[in-house]
Structure 1
Amino acid sequence: MRFVHNDLGMLRGGELVEVTLSNQANVKLMDGSNFSSYRQGSQHRYFGGHVKHSPFRLQVPGAGHWHVAVDLGGHAGSVRAGVRVIG
């Protein structure tokens, strides 16, 4: 599966992650182990979901190393995504 990946690094938790999309897509905020499972096509847990309006904001649920993946859920097309952490 093709996806856009952003490694957010270590975060304290409570920060907001803002994702700006060129069109609707799936936005998934995951910890390291779930991102690894996602990349392998295995079952994984995430925060977010199918996003129809941009920008989209998520709150980081806890301290750790976090990743954002953006994909089209297997549909044809492409998406551009900008991701930033807001204090």
Structure 2
Amino acid sequence: MAAPHFRYTHYDLKPQRAGTTIEVTLNAVNNVRLMTSVNFQRFTELLDFKYIGGVAKKSPIRLVIPENGHWHLIVDMEGHHGLAESSVKLIVASTTTAGHQQAS
């Protein structure tokens, strides 16, 4: 299996629900790409792939999972001077609506 010719950090986000926010903190400008498992496989095989995100010029950057599924996040240095240090935090979408209370 071929691999991209640039360095990257891979975060396997596992199955996530639509609406979950991914908060990525970086110490330098890098690309941040959120993608499905199929697109991550295509990325690793150097095929065309689709993703959400792009060049992160500020930190933190937030991306929202658009649909339920298994997601991957890539932080990469393609087109930049080096690979940024990064961290990822998941902010799960609330399933309860403000003002509603449980019946007792």
**Structure 1-normalised TM-score?**
0.94
| Aligned ranges 1:43-58 → 2 under 5 Å | 43-58=48-63
Q: Using the alignment, how far apart are the partners of 1:40 and 1:76 within structure 2?
A: 23
Q: Which has the higher contact order (CA 8 A, sep 6+)?
A: 1
Is residue 68 from structure 1 mapped to residue 73 from structure 2 by the alignment? yes
Larger Rg: 2
Residue of 58, 83, 87 corresponding to 2:88: 83
Is residue 31 from structure 1 mapped to residue 31 from structure 2 by the alignment? no
Q: Which residue identity does 1:4 align to in structure 2?
A: T
Is residue 13 from structure 1 mapped to residue 11 from structure 2 by the alignment? no
Q: Which runs of 5+ in 2 are unaligned?
A: 1-5, 93-104
Write 1 or 2 for the structure with the bigger share of strand. Answer: 1
Structure 1 runs of 4+ off > 2 angstroms? Answer: none
User: For 1:17-48, what per-residue CA distance to the aligned partner results, in whole angstroms no more than 9, with x for missing partners?
Assistant: 00000101000000000001111111000000
When structure 1 is superposed on structure 2, of 72-81 and 17-26 the one drifting more is 72-81
Q: Which runs of 5+ in 1 are unaligned?
A: none
**Structure 2-normalised TM-score?**
0.79
Q: Which residue identity does 1:45 align to in structure 2?
A: K
User: For 1:44-65, what per-residue CA distance to the aligned partner results, in whole angstroms no more than 9, with x for missing partners?
Assistant: 0000000100000000000000
Quote the RMSD (CA, aligned, Å).
1.0
